[in-house]
Amino acid sequence: MAVNAQNATVIVDGLYKSYTDQKRVVGAVRGVSFTIREGEFYTLLGPSGCGKTTTMRCIAGLEHPTQGEISIHGKLVSSPEKNVFVPPNKRDIGMVFQSYAIWPHMTVFQNVAFPLNVAGIRNGSKEMRERVEEALALVEMEDYVDRFATQLSGGQQQRLALARALVRRPALLLLDEPLSNLDARLRDTMRTELRSLQRRLGITTLYVTHDQTEALSMSSRIAVMQDGQIVQEATPRELYRSPANAFVAEFLGVSNRIPCTVAETGAASDCAVDTSFGRVRLTSPGATSTGATGVVTIRPEHLRLHRTTATLPNAFAARIASISFFGEQSECQVEVNGVTLRARVSSDTEFAGGDDVWLELPAPSCRLIL
């Protein structure tokens, strides 16, 4: 696969990683290729076992790939075909693990200084002291320099692990599910702080997560992985609005899925599909021929409820089966000719369970997946 090396910090080309499990070869990563541009926040997103962490570990040098090439800042660091394998400490990376992997018997200063010791910077030197202080200042941990790791809260331990990753001033920062051990409220706070820090430093970052909220809110681009492969790569907005397949649509938040058959195709990708409750018109580049079967996906927040239809296109008689309150929004279970769809409305809505309504599926929000 040809890749553009211009302004790229990381190039992964045709990466494979296989394991032997009870005499059976298992492909954990299968032909993964992507480029991370300088200063970008790039995320590998997918469920457990999809290959995202294995991909990161190959980039970090913690796994030996079976096939493919990895380059960091123009330097080839891994290629089984060319017998190249640069060890992790020579790859100009910093990494934060899911478990943080900080040493409880060391102080905050000693934990952050450890990578500098490994790099050969003398203990107690002015350079070491200045770089540790700089890293701690970045994560607002200067006041904890003499504390032991066991005396820190979960959020402070996460900041400590981040400072240790940054102290070497790496070309690439690798973050493997770094927020998963935090409670929901602290996770929200740290998500904002981490993205702000990354933007301020301009450091190229590869982030691994199974959490679609983290991915959508933090990333420049996202690669969704399934069964060891990248199934779609795009910006958060593009992924959410135009999922490539049903798996991406479901993984990137709740999506209504409506079985359909293509009834009409026209110019500019306009088409119409038949569903169990009527004909839906939409725009879809995937509609190539009549008779093709697939699903229409539409997010709950894009469905609209009306008292009357007026002349609305894609509007169908429906009934609200129930409404559930979720704070700022309420979710309606809407029944239309035997199909139940989920619609999100403002919590101060005038609708109630049992109401007869008209359900609108706005054409620009409908996505046809064949």
Residue 39 has pLDDT above 90, yes or no: yes
Which pLDDT belongs to residue 231? 97
Residue 41 has pLDDT above 50, yes or no: yes
What DSSP designation does 233 have? E
pLDDT band of residue 269 (cuts 50, 70, 90) is low
Which pLDDT belongs to residue 227? 96
**218-233 confidence digits (pLDDT tens):** 999 999 999 999 999 9
Can you tell me the mean pLDDT for 244-263?
90
Q: What is the torsion angle, in degrees rounded to the nearest 10, for the CA atoms of residue 55, residue 207, residue 179 and residue 58?
A: 20
Percent of the chain with pLDDT over 90: 59
Which pLDDT belongs to residue 89? 87
Residue 212 has pLDDT above 80, yes or no: yes
Residue 273 has pLDDT above 70, yes or no: yes
Which pLDDT belongs to residue 119? 79
Which pLDDT belongs to residue 268? 59
319 in Cβ contact with 358 (< 8 Å): no
Q: Which residue has the tokens 């938040």?
A: 253
**278-325 confidence digits (pLDDT tens):** 999 987 766 668 898 999 999 999 999 998 876 788 999 999 999 998
Q: Which of 173-182, 193-202, 219-228, 276-285 has the highest mean pLDDT?
A: 219-228
Rg over CA atoms, the chain? 25
Q: Is it true that domain 254-369 has CATH number 2.40.50.100?
A: yes
Percent of the chain with pLDDT over 70: 96
How far apart are alpha carbons 273 and 266 in whole angstroms?
A: 12
215 in Cβ contact with 180 (< 8 Å): no
- Beta-sheet pairing, 172-176 with 93-96: parallel
**Domain locations in the chain as residue ranges:** 254-369
